[in-house]
Structures are given as structure tokens and as C-alpha cells.
Amino acid sequence: MKTLLAVLFVFLAPLCGYSERVEELLGKLTLEEKADLCHGAFLSGGVPRLGIPQLAMLDGRQGVRPLGELKGTKTTLLPCTLTLACSWDEKAAEEFGRVLAEEMLALNQHVLLAPMINLIRSPLAGRNFENFSEDPFLAAKITAAYVRGVQSKKVGACSCLVVANDCEHRRHFTSSNMDERTLRETHLLPTELSFRDAGVWTMMSGNNLLNGIHCAHNRRLLQEIVKDHIGFDGVMITDWRAAYDTVPAALAGTDMTTGVCKYVFGNGHLLAAVKSGKVPMSVLDDKVRRILRLYIRCGVLDPRSRGKGELDSPKHREAARRLGAQGIVLLKNQNNLLPLDPAKVRNVLVTGPAADIVLQGGGSGNVPSAVQVTPAQGLQSVFAVTHLPFNIPLQPRMNKGSIEWEQAARGGITRTNVVTDIATLTKSAQTSDAVIFVAAGVMASEGRDLLDMELPGGQAEAIAALAKANPKTVVVLVANGAVTLDPWLANVPALLAAHYAGQATGEALADVLTGKINPAGKLSYTFARRLDDYPCHALGEWPAKLVLDKDPVNPGMKPEERKATRAFDTEYKEGVFVGYRWFDEKKIEPHFPFGHGLSYTTFELSGLKADARRVSCVVKNTGKRAGAEVVQVYIAPPKSSLPRPPKELKGFAKIALRPGESKRVEIVLRPSAFAFFDVAAQKWKAEAGEYEIQVGCSSRDIRLRGKTTLAADRLVERY
């Protein structure tokens, strides 16, 4: 109860003062000034006559990306948010958010256009590295912690993108088609909890369409569900090209258009729509109230109330290293090959296309950091290293000068097409104490999706040859998510997934490989054996299908070129069976299940106590090293009136223990933990029956089982 009251105080106390001040300012604004607040770009709004400064926004899912006058400024490149999610650590996510907020303060910026919170539907999606998870609950919990960290410093966070903007190819023309139960239980849940659990101050509508209507024009989505039902009291902005027409966007719940969309609410168009009565004055005033509330929350009106922040500081560099290591997942460690002891492992061969570069993904999330420690550099600091370059192109073929090519060049991944001599590699491997191959997937980026799961440039053949030459071969995956591991996985004793681990990739990797840091990361997605095991591919719904006679190709940058077009459809036939839920339902064996991750120590779970409100168990470190384990709670429903997944994640906790130490961990369940979304009632419904509570260390490693019975059906207002 004390915790609930504290949360209510944080949310409600400021609003008491906000309301008075907002109404006072609203009464002083002219109609023209009100309309002017509703459009802009990275700098927007402001009312010079009243001394109200402009609102300043920047991109930055894993680091702040300076633009305009700030271009050239160096900021801290943290690990990508997929790596963060693999830490399964809410405290880490809050720290991550605070680091970003401190850098925003140092640059005098107000709103960080992050985090990205779309679900991972396919391993080919171009922005998986910027999202969190395939599971809505895990994504929601890490999202909320990230948002709390950012907003604790009076910097606004922005939940991007609302909603199901989970493919990049032709994203401006693609309709994500799903029923409302699928929307509410899965794809919208991280958006919902970013507000209900963390009070996010802004949201950004996606470029895509939802059920045939562009998200920025979708009244059912933005106004009726997000604002009216969920209660979102912040500002709904558009992505840079997400809106097209003034009146539909205004009536749908869009509050501010941005970037290329400036012409939608700007250039006198919103003003004219209000004057003509097509957009009621009450609708405009609601938008302006939200925007003024944001100005107050971010300290735009009170600059002295904001901290000074810090930029690329020693503290932030240390955080980048530690957070990078926390999110590295140890997938396989046969015969306890790892950790490698530098005192015993004298000579290490380091190779692979990601050994000489810090990969971070392309597009608007690209971060210009001052420091970048490559894997080769990090490993050279602890081992005697024989370093053999493995040069291949890491980007798909593209025309020089295209937007994609420029993004790739800014990302620093342009590589010479040199075929590596495998014979030279294997000869060196035979005389080395160990081999570390840092593999790279095709570079992921905003604006494009991947074509397949393959490692490019002959890496599979090289890994197989190295593993044959040296039985102590370690492979580190630097990629956007799951990649093909055949045919070499069986012969490689140790495998880690680092994803894009940030500016300190090399240091973080060295810390984990030597055991300075005991790996505790867990997969936030299912690592399948083949592409067709994922539901959207199994059902033939990836890529989206063309529904027009001709592909529009160019979404247009000028107002006269822009038209709201539905050219592609993708049906979410999997419904609520997203990710591991599908694998469980269809009894598909993945390479590595959702929630999987090994440690250099071992843990034992015992003493389960469970009911409908809380779950607890004793966790004991039974090994010889200090380490951390993630206790995962899944709920398996009884026979239901609707199809339900075999089990769903409903709670987790990360606990650090010394060798031999044990502690009881308690996980409080939400009232909705046993429920599905009842569309007719517009509430969450938990049906009567006996539910199994499963506790384990991955979705396929269930250690403890208990039962609890609901005597009667329950309706719950909120998730």
C-alpha cells in the first residue's frame, strides 16, 4: 500500500500545479500561437511574445545523436536496447535511461525520442536491435524502467512507435492487420505500461497503418484506446513522415506533427481547419494543454530547475562497459571452456569481421561516440593476441549515394571486399591456445529489413574450419538477433550473443570471456533453428503482400508527393501466439529458447510458495563463483473459452549471490496475471479454474511447479 501511495504521489502531485499553470498560459495564447505549437521538427513551438522557449528533441535509443548546431559533439554510445533487454534487469534499464538523460541535459535538450518498443516478430526486421523483446511483458517492464530513468532527470521520454511498426521495408505503405485482443495483449502492451507504470510524457505514432488506417490518422488507436481508455495525458507526436492530412490526423488524436509532416499541422493548415470548424476549438485546446504540460514537465519554462548533466564522462564510459557486459548472453559453454584464464591461455587467435569494428546499426539511432574499443583491442589488453583481419562487406548491396548507403557510411561499416584466406586462419588456429571468432551479421538499420538469417561472406565456412583446427574455439555473435548456426554449432564449444554492445564492446567482451564479470544475460527472444520456425514466416505473412497493382516505392518527401497509401498488408494470423508462445504451442525445438542464458556458476531453485498474488522461491548459488540468476515466472492457464498460449511470462527477478549463498526471492503478480483481454467487456478477464505456476531459468527450463485456483471469473480494469 505504501508503494502504491508513493507512485500515486509522484504522478498526481505535479499535476495539481500543472493544471493551474497550463490554464493560465492557455488563456494568454492567440489562436495562431496555439496552432504553431502543434508542429515542428527537432526544434519546435515556442512563443517569443510570452518568453516561452522552443522545445528541443533528439534521437537516441542507445545514445544521444546530436544534430544541427550540435553536430560533431561526441556522446556516449551505450549498448543497443536489445542488449539491454537481454540483461533482464530493471535497475540496469533505469541507469541506462539516467545516462541518456544526463547527456540530454548537458546539450540542453528536452525530449529524447526513445525508447523503441515494437515487438520482435521476425529476425529479419531491420530495427530489432533498437527494440526489446518478442514478449510483451518483458518489453513492457524494461520499457517502463528505461522511461523512469530518463524522466527522473526532467527529460521527456517517448514511446516509439505506436503501434506494430515492426518491419522497415515499405513501412509507410504497410498495414499491420490484427484483431483487438491481439493488439491489447501483445503489441500495444509495452505502450500501455510505459504510461501506466512509468507515466511516459510523449508517444510517437508509427509510419505504418493499423487495420487499413495510418496510425497517425487512426482515431480508434490514438484517441479511443491510448488516450481515453489507457488515460495517456502526454503528447502524441508523429514520426517524421507518418502523417498526411490535417483533419484526419487532428481528429484522430495526433497532437504534434514533426519533420516532413510539418505541412500537415503547419503552413497554416491546422489553423485553417480550426477556423473553418472542421477541427473544433476544444480539440485544438486539448492538444495545446498537453504540449504546455510537456513544457512544464521538461523544465522548458523553468530552465534553472533542470540539472546541468554531463557528457561522455568517465562515469558514463564506465556505465557503457558494465551495461554492455550485463547484456551479453552465454548461449553455450561445453566442458566449461569459458572463462579463459589469461595466466594459462597464452596465445589467442582473434579474427572475424566484427573483431576490428564497433558495430551499432544504422539509421536515426546511430551515435557519434568519442571512444570505441573494438573486440580485438579489448582482448589484446588481457591476452597475447594473434590478430588476423577478416574483411568482408557487412551491408547489403546498395547504390552509392542512396539514403541507405549514406546511413551505412555514417555507421562506419563500409568494408573492403577482401576474401580472407581460410588456410592461413586454420594454420594459425592450430598453434593457438584458443580461437575467438567475432562474427557479424549483415548490418541492421532503420529503413530496410534483412533478406535472410545467414552470416555473410563465408563466415560459416571459416568457423567450421577453425573449430576443426582448434577444439577451443569461441564464437561471439555481433548481430541484430538470431542468425543461422548450421552447420558449425555442434563443433563449437562456446557461443555468446553480444548483439551491438556499444562503444566498450571490446572491454565488455574481455570482462566476460576472462570471468571478470560472470555472464548473466538471458535471451529476450527465441533463437530458432530456421527462419520458417517463426510464426509470421510459417504462416506466409513475411514479407507483407502487395495489394495494389504497383509498388509505390517512394513515400515522398515533398507535400505534393505525399498521399496516404495502403499498398501492402501483413496479417497477424499468429494472434497472441507471438514468439515462444508459438514455439510452445507447435512444439518446435529452437536452438536456444526465450529466457535462456548460462553462467560460470550454477543455481538451484527450491521452496516454492505460490498463490494468485505472489510467487516466491529460494535461489542458491551452488557453484564456486559469484553470479546472478534471473528467476522467471510463467502462468499456464486451464482450458479456456478462448485460445490461450500454453504459458506466458508474468514476472521475473534478477538476484546476485555469492558462492554458497541462498536467498528467498518474491515476485508480486499483477491482478491481470491470469487474464486475457475481453474485447466485449473492454477489460481483462481471468476465468475460473486451476492455473499452473511455473518457475524456472528459461521458458524451457522450468524448475518448480505449483498450482492456484480461481473460484470464479474475475474482471480486471487494467493490466
Contact in structure between 584 and 694 (CB atoms under 8 Å): no
CA–CA separation, 228 vs 222, rounded Å?
9
Distances from the Cα of 595 to the Cαs of 475, 624, 634, in angstroms?
20, 23, 11
Scanning the structure block, which residue is given the C-alpha cell 530493471? 90
What is the length of the chain?
719
With beta carbons less than 8 A apart as the criterion, state whether 532 and 513 touch.
no
Q: How far is CA 412 from CA 353, 372, 512, in A?
A: 13, 11, 25
Alpha carbons 74 and 312: distance in angstroms, whole number: 7
Beta-strand pair 55-59/43-44: antiparallel
Say which of 239, 356, 511, 533 is annotated catalytic: 239
C-alpha cell at 537: 514466416
Q: How many CB atoms lie within 10 A of CB 646?
A: 17
Q: Are 114 and 60 in contact (CB under 8 A)?
A: yes
Inter-residue contact 148 to 94 (CB < 8 Å): yes
The strand pairing partners of 598, in sequence order, are 330
Query: In DSSP terms, which residues pair with 546 in a beta bridge?
Result: 568
**Residue 277 CB neighbour total at 10 angstroms:** 8
> How would DSSP label each residue in 144-188?
HHHHHHHHTTT-B-EEEEES-----TTGGGEEEE--HHHIIIIIT
Whether 433 is a known active-site residue: answer: no
Give the dihedral of Cα atoms 507, 75, 398, 358; nearest 10 deg: -10
Of 324, 323, 317, nearest to 501 by C-alpha is 324
Residue 45 C-alpha cell reads as 513551438
Give the whole-angstrom CA distance, residue 629 versus residue 615: 16
Q: Which helix (DSSP H) or strand (DSSP E) does residue 140 occupy?
A: helix 136-151
Residue 305 CA, chain-centre distance (Å), reads 30
- In contact, 153 and 105? CB cutoff 8 Å: yes
> Is there a contact between 208 and 214 (Cβ–Cβ < 8 Å)?
yes
- Positions marked active-site: 239
